[in-house]
């Protein structure tokens, strides 16, 4: 279940589910390429809701770990995810909250345990199929800024505006290092870069757009290495406006 608490921002809610899907914006890219910070800011400026699909995969991973299920036990993971009471709520358009059985677990989604296991869970095709179904259900009700690794190529293929954010391994590792330190975790750049490299390898299943050549054919590709957040957000906003101008 995905619950919306109230409509925020100035964007109208399309009555046609297909129009809602088409009016959403799909943002893909590898880990730490800037998707979340760009997506949040863009959602605020466009008056849409921000939806990081990684939250759903992390919430499923947390549920797997809390249930004592081995993340490598594919059949058990699939069964758990299919019956999972996973809820998303928005009090703020840019800050969705993840709930498992009514319990807010947002603060637990970036734990080291979840970080280590999320690629195993998200790499299971049947898990992705189930969550894609839930993601599309949300975007069919209201346009969103949706970020992930298969949004333009699988989840929101109808979206008029698609973006792929790219960045070098070194830049992405420095961004992730900053996130880790902001969260109070002690680590090193070398460790984070190796973890980022391993995450890239785990995500390279062929089902996800983690390299620019895997982006949707109609996606705008933005290299974020030398760009500030405002520059990237503005490029995304212009792409969204141009794509939807004649709609």
| Residue 234: φ, ψ to 5° | -65, -40
If pLDDT is split at 50, 70 and 90, which confidence band does 178 have?
A: confident
What is residue 83's predicted lDDT score, i.e. its pLDDT? 96
Angle subtended at Cα 210 by Cα 114 and Cα 205, rounded to the nearest 5 degrees: 70
Burial code (b: 16+ CB inside 10 Å, e: under 16) for 50-74 equals: bbbbbbbbbbbbbbbbeeebebeeb
CA quadruple 231, 232, 235, 240: dihedral positive or negative? negative
CATH number of 19-241: 3.40.50.300
pLDDT average, residue stretch 50-75: 96
Instruction: For residue 97, list its beta bridge partners.
Output: 89
Angstrom distance (rounded) from CA 218 to CA 203: 22
pLDDT one-digit tens code per residue, 96-126 = 999 999 999 999 998 989 988 998 999 899 9
pLDDT one-digit tens code per residue, 7-59 = 333 444 455 788 899 999 999 999 888 899 999 999 999 999 999 999 999 99
Angle subtended at Cα 123 by Cα 119 and Cα 127, rounded to the nearest 5 degrees: 115
Give the residue, 156 or 9, on which the prediction is more confident.
156
Angstrom distance (rounded) from CA 242 to CA 233: 14
pLDDT average, residue stretch 200-209: 73
pLDDT average, residue stretch 134-143: 91
What is residue 65's predicted lDDT score, i.e. its pLDDT? 98
CA quadruple 67, 113, 146, 166: dihedral positive or negative? negative
Confirm if 58 and 69 have CB atoms less than 8 A apart. Answer: no
> For every residue of 93-116, which 3-state class applies, written as one string?
CCEEEEEECCEECHHHCCCHHHHH
If pLDDT is split at 50, 70 and 90, which confidence band does 3 have?
A: very low
What is residue 22's predicted lDDT score, i.e. its pLDDT? 94
* Domains of the chain, residue spans: 19-241
Q: Name the nearest CA neighbour of 56 among 111, 124, 126, 2.
A: 2
What is residue 37's predicted lDDT score, i.e. its pLDDT? 92
Q: What is the mean pLDDT of the chain?
A: 88
Residues contacting 161, CB < 8 A, separation 6+: 25, 26, 220, 236, 239, 240, 242, 243, 244
Question: With 90 as the cut, is the pLDDT of residue 130 above it?
Answer: yes
pLDDT average, residue stretch 168-178: 89
């Amino acid at each position: 279940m995905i619950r919306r608490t109230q409509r925020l921002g100035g964007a109208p809610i399309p009555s046609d589910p297909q129009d809602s899907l088409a009016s959403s914006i799909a943002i893909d890219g590898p880990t730490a390429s800037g998707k979340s910070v760009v997506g949040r800011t863009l959602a605020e400026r466009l008056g849409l809701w921000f939806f990081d699909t990684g939250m759903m995969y992390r919430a499923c991973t947390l549920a797997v770990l809390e249930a004592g299920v081995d993340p490598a036990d594919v059949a058990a993971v699939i069964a758990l995810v299919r019956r999972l009471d996973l809820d998303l709520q928005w009090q703020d358009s840019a800050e969705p909250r993840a709930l498992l059985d009514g319990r807010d677990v947002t603060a637990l989604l970036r734990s080291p345990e979840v970080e280590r296991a999320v690629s195993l869970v998200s790499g299971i095709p049947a898990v992705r199929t189930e969550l894609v179904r839930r993601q599309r259900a949300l975007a069919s009700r209201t346009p969103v800024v949706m970020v992930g690794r298969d949004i333009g190529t699988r989840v929101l293929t109808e979206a008029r505006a698609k973006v792929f954010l790219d960045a070098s391994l070194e830049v992405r590792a420095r961004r992730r290092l900053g996130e880790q330190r902001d969260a109070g975790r002690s680590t090193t750049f070398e460790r984070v870069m190796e973890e980022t490299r391993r995450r890239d390898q785990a995500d390279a299943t062929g089902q996800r757009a983690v390299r620019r050549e895997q982006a949707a054919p109609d996606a705008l590709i933005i290299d974020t290495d030398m760009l500030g957040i405002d520059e990237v957000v503005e490029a995304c906003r212009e792409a969204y406006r141009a794509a939807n101008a004649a709609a």
